[in-house]
Amino acid sequence: MRLLNVALLLSLIGLGLAWELWLAPLKGGTGALALKVLPLTLAIAGMLKHRLYTYRWMSLLIWLYFTEGAMRATSDTGMSQALAGIEVTLSAALFTACAVYIRLRLRVLPPKKKGKDAKEAQQP
């Protein structure tokens, strides 16, 4: 499941860069919109190291890319519209993969003790 998450993340990064720099850049643009993939690159190391926190915040962040893709899929035309559809698909797939990974990891991790039990467990 981790490899699927990383593959989807790298695909979304590659799509964002290719879209804004080569395939369908904005007319008169400088390519600065390609910087939108920068937050995604921050998650690569955390996903490769199995950090549950990274998967959690990625499942929230990915909705920004889904929203951008949905907006541009309905407002743009031509190649940009097709790329936006791919972005929506990759974003939804990455969210689903992150949610499944989190759910599986929480089944494996032992439950945290709460309240009085947690204090007793910490004391020698």
- Give the percent of the chain with pLDDT over 90: 73
pLDDT of residue 86: 97
User: Within 13 Å of residue 31, how many CA atoms lie on the same side as its CB?
Assistant: 5
pLDDT of residue 71: 97
Distances (CA, A) of 114 to 84, 111, 118, 122: 45, 9, 5, 11
Residue indicated by tokens 């990915």:
62
Q: What's the pTM value of the predicted model, to 2 decimals? A: 0.84
* pLDDT tens, position by position, 28-84: 777 888 899 999 999 999 999 999 999 999 999 999 999 999 999 999 999 999 999
Please state the domain extents for the chain. 2-122
